[in-house]
């Protein structure tokens, strides 16, 4: 019997989210079905749903920050049992055989026949377009789920599957830790996790934000210093002092300014994905052997490592819980930076399929 679940979908780039019923496939031998209890709203959901990153197949059910409870397992599943708490992030399948899949970077799968399958808006192994986590259940290959530790509040775990790993990966890759001065640009859903993770890694952590309005929060999350782009004179005093800067903002930024803040040999890493192209003066890089890089989530093993790290250090996103009927309004509030710091959808608010 194919599970039918309630979900929220949008039918156009400008349309509202409306309740609908979608079908999930019965778990195959190596798959699990889990009830999605909570789903985070990521800014990339908004970019995608509103057609800002290219053509979209509608109706679209977004959501790639999922936390739920396993209720069915396939006959060959060995990693999970009914009742386990699991999370799913941005992708749900890949070839498993290419150099990147074998190297724990499944998000960069190079297979032409079985490429990375994104959690929504992608062609799944059944030939259908994938529906995401704004739903009450999903069927996933067992290898693409992560264990959610009991130490992490279950209702706050979902955003870690994207926001958490998106910051953990570049911070660890580029050496954030004791003796390093690190800045997180932007204090939104991604940035507030970056501040917590960088501080827990032992780095001297700073926030660079548009204004000083979130200073108290930034310090509470572990930052030692807080700077605002609206107070450039103070920020410019930090030129040449940072080992690592991670920018999380999806709006256009003065990249040259950020590069000027780096030490010789320092790295500026972008995870924010602005809609429009950015420009830089290449001399700003060459003049100090500086590095400009990007980072794209993380593989399954690294995501599990991040979850375990957060559990060990008591880290979790600060969330605001919403219902399915509030998704449309929540999108506008995210764009207007009115959420502190991640909206999480409680799927129990959807009701039941029998009532739909």
Q: Which residue has tokens 């396939």?
A: 74
For residue 354, pLDDT over 80 is answered with no
Cis peptide before 25 (omega within 30 of 0): no
Instruction: State how far the Cα of 74 lies from the Cα of 94, in Å rounded to an integer.
Output: 18
Check: CB of residue 295 under 8 Å from CB of residue 174. no
Instruction: State how far the Cα of 350 lies from the Cα of 356, in Å rounded to an integer.
Output: 9
For residue 274, pLDDT over 90 is answered with no
Mean pLDDT of the chain: 94
* Beta strands at 262-270 and 242-247: parallel, antiparallel or unpaired: parallel
pTM (two decimals):
0.94
For residue 275, pLDDT over 80 is answered with no
Instruction: State how far the Cα of 49 lies from the Cα of 45, in Å rounded to an integer.
Output: 6
Instruction: State how far the Cα of 66 lies from the Cα of 36, in Å rounded to an integer.
Output: 6
Give helix 300-313 / helix 163-173 axis angle, nearest 10°: 90
Task: Report pLDDT for 149.
Answer: 98
Strand locations in the chain (E): 4-10, 17-23, 31-40, 66-73, 85-88, 91-93, 117-118, 138-141, 146-147, 181-185, 204-209, 225-228, 242-247, 262-270, 291-294, 319-322, 342-346
Domains of the chain plus CATH, in order, are 4-162+317-355 (3.90.180.10), 164-294 (3.40.50.720)
For residue 356, pLDDT over 70 is answered with no
Residue 26: pLDDT band (50, 70, 90) is: very high
Instruction: State how far the Cα of 132 lies from the Cα of 227, in Å rounded to an integer.
Output: 36
Q: Give pLDDT tens digits for 128-157.
A: 999 999 999 999 999 999 999 999 999 999
Task: Report pLDDT for 100.
Answer: 96
Q: Give pLDDT tens digits for 162-213.
A: 999 999 999 999 999 999 999 999 999 999 999 999 999 999 999 999 999 9
Residue 193 backbone dihedrals phi, psi, to 5 degrees: -75, -35
Mention every residue, 6+ apart, whose C-beta is less than 8 A from residue 200. Answer: 222, 309, 313, 315
Q: Give pLDDT tens digits for 301-324.
A: 999 999 999 999 999 999 999 999
Q: Give pLDDT tens digits for 77-131.
A: 999 999 999 999 999 999 999 999 999 999 999 998 889 999 999 988 888 999 9
Nearest Cα to Cα of residue 37 among 87, 2, 72: 87
Mention every residue, 6+ apart, whose C-beta is less than 8 A from residue 169. Answer: 295, 297, 298, 302, 306
Check: CB of residue 209 under 8 Å from CB of residue 187. yes
Instruction: State how far the Cα of 137 lies from the Cα of 355, in Å rounded to an integer.
Output: 16
For residue 2, pLDDT over 80 is answered with no
Task: Report pLDDT for 1.
Answer: 63
Give the burial string for 34-50 (b: 16+ CB within 10 Å, else e). Answer: bbbbbbbbbbbbbbbbb
Provide DSSP, 181-231: EEEEE--STTHHHHHHHHHHTT-EEEEEESSSTTHHHHHHTT-SEEEETTS
Task: Report pLDDT for 98.
Answer: 95
Task: Report pLDDT for 332.
Answer: 95
Partners of residue 293 on adjacent β-strands: 269
Q: Give pLDDT tens digits for 212-263.
A: 999 999 999 999 999 999 999 999 999 999 999 999 998 788 899 999 999 9
Task: Report pLDDT for 82.
Answer: 97
Residue 53: pLDDT band (50, 70, 90) is: confident
């Amino acid at each position: 019997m194919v599970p039918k679940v309630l979900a929220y979908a949008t039918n156009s780039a400008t349309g509202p989210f409306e309740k609908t019923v979608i079908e999930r496939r019965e778990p195959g031998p190596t798959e699990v079905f889990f009830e999605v209890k909570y789903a985070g709203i990521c800014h990339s959901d908004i970019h995608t749903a509103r057609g800002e990153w290219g053509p979209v197949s509608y109706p679209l059910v977004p959501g790639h920050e999922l936390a739920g409870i396993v209720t069915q397992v396939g006959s060959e599943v060995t990693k999970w049992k009914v009742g386990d708490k699991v999370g799913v992030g941005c992708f749900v399948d890949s070839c498993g055989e290419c150099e990147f899949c074998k190297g724990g970077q499944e998000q960069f799968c190079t297979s032409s026949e079985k490429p990375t399958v994104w959690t929504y808006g992608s062609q799944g192994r059944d030939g259908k377009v994938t529906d995401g986590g704004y739903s009450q259940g999903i069927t996933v290959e067992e290898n693409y789920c992560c264990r959610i530790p009991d130490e992490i509040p279950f209702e706050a775990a979902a955003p870690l599957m994207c926001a958490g790993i998106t910051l953990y990966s570049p911070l660890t890759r580029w050496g954030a830790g004791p003796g390093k001065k690190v800045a997180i640009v932007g204090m939104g859903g991604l940035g507030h996790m970056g501040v917590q993770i960088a501080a827990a890694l032992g780095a001297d952590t700073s926030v660079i934000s548009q204004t000083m309005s979130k200073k108290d929060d930034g310090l509470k999350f572990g930052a030692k210093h807080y700077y605002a782009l609206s107070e450039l004179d103070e920020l410019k005093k930090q030129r040449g002092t940072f080992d690592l800067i991670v920018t999380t903002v999806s709006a256009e930024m003065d990249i040259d300014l950020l590069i000027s803040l780096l030490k010789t040999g320092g790295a500026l890493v972008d995870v924010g994905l602005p809609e429009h192209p950015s420009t830089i003066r290449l001399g700003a890089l060459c003049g100090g052997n500086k590095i400009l890089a990007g980072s794209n989530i993380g593989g399954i093993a690294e995501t599990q490592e991040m979850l375990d790290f957060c559990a060990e250090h008591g880290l979790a996103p600060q969330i605001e819980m919403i219902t399915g009927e509030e998704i449309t309004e929540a999108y506008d509030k995210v764009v207007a930076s009115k959420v502190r710091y991640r909206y999480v959808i409680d799927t129990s608010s959807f009701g039941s399929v029998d009532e739909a």
